Amino acid sequence: MKKIRWLCCDESGIETVQWLAWGAVLLILIAVIYGVFNGNARLRAAIRGTTAVLATRFGSDIGARGPNGTAPCLDGPFSVQRCNGASQISFTPVQPIVFDPRTQSYVVFSPIERLVIKPAAGVPTVADPRTGELLLFDTPHQRIIRVNLIEQRVIAIDQITGVATPLPLEALLQHRLIEIQVIDAPAIAPLSLATLGVPRVLPDRLALLAAFVGGAGLLGLARRGVQEGMLASGGAAANVPPWLAALGQVFLGLLIGVGALLALAALIYAGAALLAAVGIGAALSFAAALAVAAVILAVGFVALEFSERVQAFLARRSEPGVGEWLLIAGLSLASLSSVAQSAIARTVAGTARPRLVGGDEPEQDAVAPPDCPPVCAPEEIDISSWPTLAREAAVLGCLLLGCHVDDQRERIVPPSPAERLADSVLGMGVPASVIGKSFQKAGITLTPHALHKLISRGARGVTEEAALRAYRRGRLFYNPHDRSFIRYDPRTGVAVAIDKAVHGKVITVFEGNPSPRWVPVRWRPGQ
Amino acid sequence: MTHYLEISLSPPHPAGMLVPRYDEEVNVLDLGSGIRMPWVYGVDIDGTIIFDLNAERLLVNVEVLIPKKMWRVAPQTTVPYPKRSATLTFSERTIRHKSFSLPITIYTNRQRTSVLILFDDAMNNNNAWWVKLSHRCFAAVQHGRLVGFLAWL
C-alpha cells in the first residue's frame, strides 16, 4: 500500500511513472520500426513500388499513336482497353489476392500499385487465395466469370454451353459486375495499423485516435501530481533514485540516437531511390527513343506524342504491345503472333498463298500439276491502283479463270498448283447449266442449293450420275437430327438428302459413310 | 482412330472467311466464303453438318442441315472475343476418317439472328477459344479440335 501511495501521490513516484511511460513508448517505437523494416513485406513492397513508380514516370515521356489517332495497345499497367481482342493486364502481383472485410473488396498487390476489386452487390464471388483467381457468378447471364490476374485472363464460362470465352475487362465494368480501383503505392509508406501488422479490429483512423488518446491520458495521469512550475527533469534529478535516473538517461539517449539513425536512414534511402529513379528512367527513355526510331524506320508512319503516361514503358516491355505496333503498320503480324514464323515469312513475303502451318503439309505437289494456261498469270498482280470498275471485272474474270482477288492485299492471287490440279480433275469448264439436266428429265426437283453443292463437290465423286443413282436406288434412312430423309448408295458412297421419303425434292448431295444415328426406313410396297 | 475434328490454324485466307447464309427454301444454313473453287475434300458429322475443304484442306464451306425451327432458343447470346483471326485447316487424319458421329446442339437467340453450333464434347469443356473466321462467323477451337461455330445471320 505504501508503494502504491508513493507511485500515485508522491512526486518522485509520479516522475518514476512518467519515465516508465516514456520508456514504454520508446520500446514500442523501436519494436514497430524493427517490425516495419524487417518483418513487413507489404511496406517494403510499397517503398520498392514507390521507387519503381518514380522510375517509370521518369522514363515515360514518349508515347505512340497510330496514323488516324488510333490508340495502339499501349495502355497499362492495368488497362481496360481491348488489345487484339483481349484485355491486356500487364500486372504482376506480389502476393495472392486478399479479402478486405471492411470494404467487402478483394485486394491484389503489385510492386507498383494495388488493385481494389469490388464485386457488385448481389454477385456471389469466391476467391482462391492460392491462385489469386476470382470467380464471379453472373446468374442473370448464366455464366461464371473467372478473373485471373496472375495468368492475365478474364474468362466467361457459359453455364449452358460450357464454352469459355475470353472477356475484355471493360465488359465486366460496363455490366457493373465489378468495380476496380487502381491505387498507386504512395510516396510515403502508409503507416496505418494494418500496414504495421497490427490486426485490424477498428478502422485505421479510430484505432490511431484511440492510441493517441490512450498515450496522452497515460502521460497526463503521470503529470497530474507534479506541482505547478516544477520541471519534471528537475524533480527527477532531485528525488528519483540514482538507478532510475540512469535508466532514464539511457532511454533518453536511445530515443535521440534511434531518431537520428532513422532520419539518416531515411535520407540515404531517399537519395538511393532518387538515384535509382534517375538511372532507370534515363535507360528507359533511351530504350524508348530507340524503339520508336526503329518503328519509324520500319513503318514510316507512326505519329508520336509526348505525354507523361506510364503506359508506353509498360507496353514496350510486353510482346503484345510490340505486336500492336506492327499491326499499326498494316503488317498484321500481331494477329499471327502465334503462327509459326516460317508461315508468317512466307505469307508476308507474298511468295505463295498462305499454306498450312506445322509439319503436316499435304503432298499436293506429288502429282505434277498442269501448266498454267496462258490466260492465267503465274505471279500475283497488284491492283491497288486499278479503278473500282476494273477491280470488279477482275473478280468476275477470276471466277472464270480460277484465280482469287485478295481485297485486303489488293492483289490478284493465281490459283495454287493444287487448285489447278483439282480444276483439271473437276473440269471447271463444264457450264453449270449442263449439270442437273438428268434430274430435270427424271422429273426430280433439284433445288438451286443442291445444284450448287453438286457442282462444287464433283471433285470428290459427287457427280450428277451418282446422285441420281442414290436418289433412285439408294437405301432409305431417316435422319432424326434434321428430320430429313437420306438416300444412300453404298456402291458410290454418295448420299442425297431429301425432304420427303417419296418424291421428295433434293436438299443436298454429299458423300461419306452412313451414320449410326440414321434410322433405316423399312421398305413398304408401293414405295 | 480419331473421334474429333482435328484442325490447325492457318493465316487468314479469303476462301476461309466464312459468312453465314440461311436458305429458306431448303432450310439449310451455309457458312461459306462465296469464292468459287472446287471442294476437293469433305468431312461430315452424321450427314448433318458437312464440311467442305479445298485442295489445301482449308475449310471453305460448312453446310448445316438442321432447320431453323429445330434450333434451341437460349436466353443469352454468347459474345465471342476471339483470340485471333485465322482459317481452319483440317488434318489429314480427319479427312481420312471422313464421317464422324458426334452430338450436335444448335442454339439461337429469340430473334433467331445468331446461331451457336456445338459439337464434339463442347458441352463439358471450359477451354474452347474463339477464332475469328469473318466478321460474322467464329469457330470454337479447343486443343486443336474444332468444337463449334458461332455466326450471325
User: What pLDDT shows up at residue A177?
Assistant: 81
Cross-chain CB nearest to A161 (options B30, B36, B123): B123
Chosen domain end from A151, A184, A217:
A184
Residue B28 has pLDDT above 90, yes or no: yes
Q: Give the residue on B whose Cα is nearest the Cα of A343.
A: B11
Q: A339 in contact with B at a CB cutoff of 8 Å?
A: yes
Q: How far is CA B128 from CA A86, A157, A217, B80, B139, in A?
A: 15, 10, 65, 11, 9
User: What pLDDT shows up at residue B58?
Assistant: 93
**Cis previous bond, A77, omega within 30:** yes
A460:B41 CB<8 A: yes
Residues of B in contact with A479 (CB under 8 A): 46-48, 65
Beta bridge partners of A484: A479
Q: With a CB-CB cutoff of 8 Å, which residues 266-285 of chain A face chain B?
A: none
Q: A479 in contact with B at a CB cutoff of 8 Å?
A: yes
B101:A428 CB<8 A: no
pLDDT category of residue B131 using cuts at 50, 70 and 90: confident
Q: Name which residue leads in pLDDT, B125 or A448.
A: A448
Q: Is residue A344 part of a domain?
A: no
Residues of B in contact with A475 (CB under 8 A): none
Q: Do A69 and A77 touch, CB atoms closer than 8 A? A: no
Q: Name which residue leads in pLDDT, A87 or B72.
A: B72
- Residue A506 to residue A14: CA distance in whole angstroms: 109
Residues of A in contact with B78 (CB under 8 A): 158, 161, 163, 165
Cross-chain CB nearest to A364 (options B23, B55, B74): B55
User: What pLDDT shows up at residue A97?
Assistant: 63
Q: Do A111 and A92 touch, CB atoms closer than 8 A? A: yes
Q: Give the residue on A whose Cα is nearest the Cα of B117.
A: A161
Q: Do A397 and A390 touch, CB atoms closer than 8 A? A: no
Chain centroid to Cα A240, Å, comes to: 69
Best residue in A419, A510, A513 to probe B by mutation, most B CBs within 10 Å? A510
Q: How far is CA A295 from CA A287, A292, A314, in A?
A: 12, 5, 17
Q: Is residue A448 part of a domain?
A: yes
- Residue A60 to residue A491: CA distance in whole angstroms: 72
Q: Is residue A320 part of a domain?
A: no
Nearest Cα of chain A lies from the Cα of B39 at a distance, in angstroms, of 5
Q: How far is CA A229 from CA A223, A234, B94, in A?
A: 12, 11, 100
- Those residues with Cβ within 8 angstroms of residue A73's Cβ, 6 or more apart along the chain or in another chain: A79, A81, A83, A84, A88, A315, A320, A321, A323, A324
Residues of A in contact with B75 (CB under 8 A): 142
Q: Give the residue on B whose Cα is nearest the Cα of A426.
A: B38
Q: Which tens digit of pLDDT belongs to each residue from A5-26?
A: 666 666 777 677 777 777 777 7
User: What pLDDT shows up at residue A399?
Assistant: 65
Between CA A172 and CA A181, with CA A175 as vertex, the angle to 5 degrees is: 55
Q: A409 in contact with B at a CB cutoff of 8 Å?
A: no
- Tell me, yes or no, whether A91 and A155 share the same domain: yes
Q: Give the residue on B whose Cα is nearest the Cα of A346.
A: B11
Residues of A in contact with B15 (CB under 8 A): 404
Chosen domain end from A130, A161, A184:
A184
Q: Which of A516, A158, A510, A509 is nearest to B102 (CA)?
A: A516
pTM, 2 dp: 0.43
Q: How far is CA A408 from CA A35, A69, A333, B88, in A?
A: 63, 21, 14, 18
**CA distance from start to end of chain A:** 121
Q: What is the 3-state secondary structure (H, E, C) of A90-127?
A: CCCCCEEEEEECCCCEEEEECCCEEEEEEECCCCCEEE
B50:A510 CB<8 A: yes
DSSP tag of B28: E
User: What pLDDT shows up at residue A359?
Assistant: 31
User: What pLDDT shows up at residue A395?
Assistant: 73
User: What pLDDT shows up at residue A65?
Assistant: 32
Q: How far is CA A380 from CA A279, A393, A397, B54, in A?
A: 52, 16, 14, 20
Q: What is the 3-state secondary structure (H, E, C) of A162-180?
A: CCEEECCHHHHHHCCCEEE
Cross-chain CB nearest to A456 (options B8, B15, B52): B52
Q: Write out residues in chain A with pLDDT < 50, as ranges.
A: 55-95, 111, 185-202, 221-222, 224-237, 295-377, 421-432
Between CA B21 and CA B33, with CA B27 as vertex, the angle to 5 degrees is: 25
Instruction: Count contacts between A and B (CB, < 8 Å).
Output: 218
B84:A335 CB<8 A: yes
Q: With a CB-CB cutoff of 8 Å, which residues 43-102 of chain A face chain B?
A: 82, 84-86
Task: Give domain limits for chain B.
Answer: 5-152
* Number of domains making up chain A: 4
- Residue A41 to residue A39: CA distance in whole angstroms: 6
- Residue A333 to residue A345: CA distance in whole angstroms: 10
- Tell me, yes or no, whether A160 and A234 share the same domain: no
Based on the number of CB atoms within 10 Å of its own CB, is B113 exposed (0-12), middle (13-18) or buried (19 or more)?
A: exposed
β pairing state of B84-85 and B129-134 = parallel
- Residue A484 to residue A477: CA distance in whole angstroms: 9
Residues of B in contact with A421 (CB under 8 A): 55
Q: Which residues constitute the domain of residue A176? A: 85-184
User: What pLDDT shows up at residue B127?
Assistant: 65
User: What pLDDT shows up at residue A100?
Assistant: 67
Cross-chain CB nearest to A456 (options B12, B39, B140): B39
A512:B89 CB<8 A: no
Q: Which of A307-321, B57-71, B112-126 has the highest mean pLDDT?
A: B57-71
- Tell me, yes or no, whether A384 and A451 share the same domain: no
A360:B92 CB<8 A: yes
Residues of A in contact with B27 (CB under 8 A): 507
Q: Which of A298, A330, A327 is nearest to A72 (CA)?
A: A327
Chain centroid to Cα A79, Å, comes to: 9
Q: Is residue A202 part of a domain?
A: yes
Q: Which of A475, A509, A508, A507 is nearest to A491 (CA)?
A: A475
- Residue A121 to residue A106: CA distance in whole angstroms: 14
Best residue in A481, A485, A507 to probe B by mutation, most B CBs within 10 Å? A481
User: What pLDDT shows up at residue A459?
Assistant: 81
A453:B132 CB<8 A: no
Q: Do A430 and A439 touch, CB atoms closer than 8 A? A: no
- Those residues with Cβ within 8 angstroms of residue B94's Cβ, 6 or more apart along the chain or in another chain: B2, B5, B6, B7, B43
Nearest Cα of chain A lies from the Cα of B152 at a distance, in angstroms, of 17
Q: Give the residue on B whose Cα is nearest the Cα of A419.
A: B55
Q: Do A92 and A110 touch, CB atoms closer than 8 A? A: yes
CA-CA-CA-CA torsion sign (B24, B152, A405, B87): negative
Best residue in B43, B83, B102, B114 to probe A by mutation, most A CBs within 10 Å? B83
A449:B76 CB<8 A: no
